[in-house]
Structure 1
Amino acid sequence: MPSNRARMISALYFLTLLSSTVARGHVAFWSQSRNETGGGSEDRCTCDAFLPSATFPVTDLVEVEQKVVEIMHKLELEMGKLEDYETKMTSYAEKIIELVVEVEAMEKDPDAYDDTDTDDVKVKIKQVEALIKELKLSINSSTAVFQSLHVQLTTAESTLDGLERTYDKNSVLKMRREYLKVQLQLEECERRHQEIFHPNVGSCAHTGIIRVSKPLVSHLNHLSPGYTSGGWGKDSKPLPDRKSMYWLSAHSSAIISEIRFYVDYKNLILRTPFQHHGLRNGWGGTGNNYIIRENTLYYQLSSPFGLAKLNFTSMTYASRVIPGASSRFSYSGTGNQNFDFAADETGLWVSYATDELNGKLVLAKIDEASFGIVEEFQTSLYKPGLSNTFMVCGVLYAVRTVDIKNEEIFYKYDTRTKQESYISVLFERFLNKYTYLDYNPTDQKLYMYNNGYYVNYHLWFNHTTKPTEEPRLLVS
């Protein structure tokens, strides 16, 4: 089967070229976030540029205005391609991995396959090669479009120089200021496009989440078709040799009894864990809001009801009871989600509800060394009315179900200012019920376990816009 192996190497080579093209690309989009449809799959992050009406009838000035409008439309058209690029890259990578498995199986046992099987694999390889070439051409085309836009802006600047020398300087200066705004918008658009593929990991220089991508569905869980509860993701503070590692826990009910570790995403898809740990008797957990941080599992302990952690390096357990935390309040639609662990750029957190506050959510900061509570924050949220919560840069975000298709990030609590406010960021849920949603600061993604599927989302943050008004406080 040497010819098949050669074709597989060729396909992988094209994917490598595609990835490097994206990494080197100098294209991007952004000026302001605008929710045009109220959320859903048609949401667009658009680049708008407007110039005032001409103050005098000069043909050259009209041409400048027309060029700006043309740039605006091109930016909007190209923006629609961003998530398609992203989704296709994930899909093509999975197709290549599946083909590698097929080819390796044929090489190990060639007698088990006939010419029809071989021809079928050849066709699949050619299809993937064609798809990758097509996507690479599309990305190159976008790069060319933005190089053209830069040329058009340079031409517009030359026109403004001429107008400034010939006509009323005040009028032209006003136009020049508007032109500079457009130029800055285009530069910011380019930076934003780069962030889609290279997020500014570790940075909290933003005012919060402004957009969530479409769901990226990775794979149906391979343990059992009935394993509809669980969680998956990456270590939020990985050890040096485990930065590419993924973990998975899945079960038919909201419990945790074992964890599997995978060297990287490829091995997660190929179903080949390098470690598999079962929890020791007496240390079993409930709920699906656990996380892994610095090679340590943090989860909800069954008995006594409280917090637990398992360090996989030393294989040692520890537990902590939080007085007042109630086992009566869970998220809507899912049981036993009483303690919800989260990790972000600022550290480790856990949220829960209390009987004393009639089910309102309490957020607590955890000292990782002592496994003790450092500080608590009381919110006005009624926990059973929430789908889930997660932390980003010391800010608690709460999610609720809007309809059969969409979730909404509708609330945030800033632990630095102790202020809570309403927001509205919609995203698609993929399937009706999910048991796990958590943010990971190592790649700035949301990870969801949804009825047996691995789902993740890219996040967009407001890096440039400052709040124009004080946040509206919630009445408790």
Structure 2
Amino acid sequence: MKLYVIVPLCALFTLTQQAPSRDKCACELTNSEKAFPHDKLSTVENDASKCNSNITPQKTLELESLLLGLERRLPRLQEDVSMLEREDDGQLYAVLSLYVLENEMVEIKQLLDRLNGTTLGHQRLTADTTKQLKDLRAEMQQLETYDTLQVVKRQQDNKQLKRDLDQCRNRLYPIAQPTPPQRNCPHGEFRNITRVRMHTQGEYPDSYKYGAWGQDPKPEAGKENWYWLVMLTSSNIYANYVRRYSSLSSLIVGVSTPGNVEIHSSNPTTNTIQGPNVVLYGEALYYNCYNQDSVCRFNLTTKAVTTLQLPKGTRYNSKGNFCHLDECYPYTDLDLATDESGVWVIYTSKQDFGNLVLSKVEEGEPLTLGQTWRTSVYKQGVTNTFMACGVLYATRYVNKEVEEIFYSFDTTTGVERFDIGVFINKMSPNINSLNYSPVDQMLHAYCDSHMVSYKVLFS
């Protein structure tokens, strides 16, 4: 547009009036549209935020965890009652068996009481949330009437069109899936993990940020259903005992029987636990020895500690941690893992330039280091590792809600993959330890004082 065409509105108005008056002219603008209710939009946003904070995955999974604990507890009670009926001698054995059954009934009652309380709370929450959602929907529909230019509708149409185009493109040019290496695993090939199967904070909610938990893959007779828990109780770095639970329901409701097995009365001191990456195997606890580049094995029966020295140059004392872009997890230099074949240790060293190193820990006396494999993945680009069927898997941080299993190293074939692409939905921003249980193919995570488990899916 040429400059002489642009005429100020006030000047034009003055010319059309042909008024010689020197008074200032004023133009009145009348808007026929209704004023947008910004205060109502702000109220709707606040209500939606409150609704999101009330409905969390933790609330849903709390009920599922309690039901899972009850599901596993009742068959065990039935077995104990059947054994009493078969072997009752009317004397000492019967008295002891009845005492055991009484303790089991007390645990089940605690589980049921907590389940009833949780169910009632969820019913009230569901009723309140349903009403809030109806109100929010009505208010949003009213706010949509102000969108006279149909901007929102066109944005929605564009999103739908983009989805349709993507689907059409994928059908025309299907993405070839990589063929996984063939190997011998009793469960088949690792494919995926389920959503969270169990979630609890146990008997110490929000008290101990770092720790580990799980099951013994090689338990003693009578302890097949037991669980263990290690919490870093000193400076979030050290621990001097392992806590035992006689069942999953006991762990969920926070009733520890038989209780603590102490490594040493002082914490920290020689041979106590350093860092959260701990496993239990064959009634022995494997962990990073305090202030050493060594693996300690603590026998829970004899209380004896055996030390395994790692190769010279191994990084320890928080110099070779798991990390992501925002932070590193302190004292995670050594990661102990279990699978169908036994115990493994994952670490890094100066001569490997910070890349992951994997070694098999051989049982026996003395404790020895078996075959070692070197990988090409940088340890500080990894947040956690675990073993399953002789394959090392590594995770990385995606965001506060999601972790990705992105890498694998097959010890049988030597094949590395960086395209696993299995995602873990988290209950807390950080996974401090990750253990695979070959007993039931569960993946146990300790996340900022939350104990969470996932089912591993094989083909």
Give the SS at the match of 2:65: helix
**Could you tell me how far apart the structure 2 residues matched to 1:103 and 1:375 are?**
46
Whether contact under 8 Å (1:250, 1:256) holds in the other structure is yes
**Could you tell me how far apart the structure 2 residues matched to 1:207 and 1:414 are?**
14
**Could you tell me how far apart the structure 1 residues matched to 2:288 and 2:455 are?**
27
**Could you tell me how far apart the structure 2 residues matched to 1:367 and 1:360 are?**
23
Residue in structure 1 matched with residue 350 of structure 2 by the alignment: 355
Whether contact under 8 Å (1:437, 1:448) holds in the other structure is yes
**Could you tell me how far apart the structure 2 residues matched to 1:319 and 1:219 are?**
33
Deviation at 1:103, TM superposition (A): 10
Residue in structure 2 matched with residue 271 of structure 1 by the alignment: 255
Which amino acid in 1 is paired with 2:238? I
Pick one of 62, 67, 76 that aligns with 1:92: 67
Deviation at 1:305, TM superposition (A): 2.8
**Could you tell me how far apart the structure 2 residues matched to 1:217 and 1:302 are?**
31
Pick one of 216, 222, 244 that aligns with 1:261: 244
Which amino acid in 1 is paired with 2:336? F
Residue in structure 1 matched with residue 78 of structure 2 by the alignment: none
Deviation at 1:209, TM superposition (A): 1.9
Do residues 210 (structure 1) and 191 (structure 2) align? yes
Do residues 226 (structure 1) and 207 (structure 2) align? yes
**Could you tell me how far apart the structure 2 residues matched to 1:126 and 1:289 are?**
32
The 3 A distance-change label for structure 1 pair 124 and 366 is: closer
Which amino acid in 1 is paired with 2:67? Y
**Could you tell me how far apart the structure 2 residues matched to 1:208 and 1:237 are?**
22
Pick one of 311, 333, 339 that aligns with 1:344: 339
**Could you tell me how far apart the structure 1 residues matched to 2:243 and 2:118 are?**
34
Residue in structure 2 matched with residue 242 of structure 1 by the alignment: 223
Do residues 365 (structure 1) and 342 (structure 2) align? no
Deviation at 1:304, TM superposition (A): 3.3
What is the TM-score normalised by the length of structure 1?
A: 0.56
Residue in structure 1 matched with residue 314 of structure 2 by the alignment: 325
Do residues 448 (structure 1) and 434 (structure 2) align? no
Whether contact under 8 Å (2:66, 2:115) holds in the other structure is no
Residue in structure 2 matched with residue 470 of structure 1 by the alignment: none
Gaps of 5+ in 2: 1-59, 74-104, 124-183
- Further displaced range: 381-390 or 419-428: 419-428
Whether contact under 8 Å (1:259, 1:276) holds in the other structure is yes
Whether contact under 8 Å (2:63, 2:119) holds in the other structure is no
**RMSD (Å), alpha carbons:** 3.2
The 3 A distance-change label for structure 1 pair 278 and 228 is: same
Which amino acid in 1 is paired with 2:431? Y
Which amino acid in 1 is paired with 2:398? V
Pick one of 375, 383, 388 that aligns with 1:387: 383
Deviation at 1:123, TM superposition (A): 11
Whether contact under 8 Å (1:301, 1:307) holds in the other structure is yes
**Could you tell me how far apart the structure 1 residues matched to 2:344 and 2:114 are?**
50
Do residues 421 (structure 1) and 412 (structure 2) align? no
**Could you tell me how far apart the structure 1 residues matched to 2:210 and 2:114 are?**
38
Give the SS at the match of 1:432: coil
Gaps of 5+ in 1: 1-84, 106-120, 132-202, 463-476
Give the SS at the match of 1:242: coil
The 3 A distance-change label for structure 1 pair 299 and 102 is: closer
Whether contact under 8 Å (1:438, 1:448) holds in the other structure is yes
Give the SS at the match of 1:325: coil
Whether contact under 8 Å (2:66, 2:249) holds in the other structure is no
Which amino acid in 1 is paired with 2:306? A
**Could you tell me how far apart the structure 1 residues matched to 2:65 and 2:115 are?**
20
Whether contact under 8 Å (2:399, 2:429) holds in the other structure is no
Give the SS at the match of 1:433: coil
Whether contact under 8 Å (1:298, 1:307) holds in the other structure is yes
**Could you tell me how far apart the structure 1 residues matched to 2:232 and 2:242 are?**
11
**Could you tell me how far apart the structure 2 residues matched to 1:282 and 1:315 are?**
14
Mapping of residues 33-52 of structure 1, within 5 Å: none
Deviation at 1:350, TM superposition (A): 0.5
